[in-house]
C-alpha cells in the first residue's frame, strides 16, 4: 500500500492505494486527467481559424449558429452594402437573416439552399 497526499482546489486529501489489488483503484487516477481534456476549448477554435485561410474573399461571413440554409439571396460577384441579406438560415424553427458585415462584393457562397451548417462555418466571403 502506498500513501499519497493530494491537493485538489486547495483541499488536501490523504489517499491510500493498494498496489495491484484491482482495476477500481487504477481507474480512478485515469478519470481525473480526463476531465481537464474536456475543459479546453482550443479544439473547436482550430476549424474556425482554418476556414478563413481556404476562403477566396478577405472578409468571412460565418454561421452564427447551427441550422439549415433556407435561401441564398446574393450571388457571386454581386455588390452588397453593410446589412444586405446574403442568406437565410433556419435555426430552432426561426428564420435568421445572415447579412453582409460591410460593403463589398460577394467572392464565394459556400452553402446552398437545403444545406445544414454548423456554428462558425464560413458560409460566404466578401472582397
The residue count of the chain comes to 127
pLDDT of residue 50 exceeding 50, the answer is: no
- Measured at the CA of 118, the angle between CA 117 and CA 121, to 5 degrees, comes to 85
pLDDT of residue 35 exceeding 90, the answer is: no
CA distance 116 to 70: 9
Condensed to tens digits (0 to 9), the pLDDT of residues 8-23 reads 888 888 888 887 655 5
pLDDT of residue 33 exceeding 70, the answer is: no
Give this prediction's pTM: 0.54
CA distance 92 to 16: 51
User: Would you call 125 exposed, middle or buried from its count of C-beta atoms within 10 A (0-12, 13-18, 19+)?
Assistant: buried
In 39-89, alpha helices (H): 42-54
Average pLDDT rounded to a whole number, residues 53-58: 59
Condensed to tens digits (0 to 9), the pLDDT of residues 60-115 reads 999 999 999 999 999 999 999 999 999 999 999 999 999 999 999 999 999 999 99
Instruction: Say what the pLDDT of residue 86 is.
Output: 95
Amino acid at each position: 500500500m502506498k500513501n499519497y497526499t493530494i491537493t485538489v482546489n486547495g483541499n488536501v486529501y490523504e489517499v491510500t492505494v493498494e498496489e495491484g489489488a484491482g482495476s477500481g483503484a487504477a481507474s480512478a487516477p485515469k478519470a481525473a486527467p480526463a476531465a481537464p481534456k474536456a475543459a479546453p476549448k482550443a479544439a473547436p477554435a482550430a476549424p474556425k481559424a482554418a476556414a478563413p485561410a481556404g476562403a477566396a474573399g478577405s472578409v468571412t461571413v460565418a454561421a452564427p449558429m447551427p441550422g439549415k440554409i433556407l435561401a441564398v439571396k446574393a450571388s457571386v460577384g454581386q455588390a452588397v452594402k453593410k446589412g444586405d441579406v446574403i442568406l437565410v438560415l433556419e435555426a430552432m424553427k426561426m428564420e435568421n437573416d445572415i447579412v453582409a458585415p460591410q460593403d463589398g462584393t460577394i467572392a464565394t457562397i459556400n452553402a446552398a439552399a437545403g444545406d445544414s451548417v454548423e456554428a462558425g462555418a464560413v458560409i460566404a466571403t466578401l472582397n
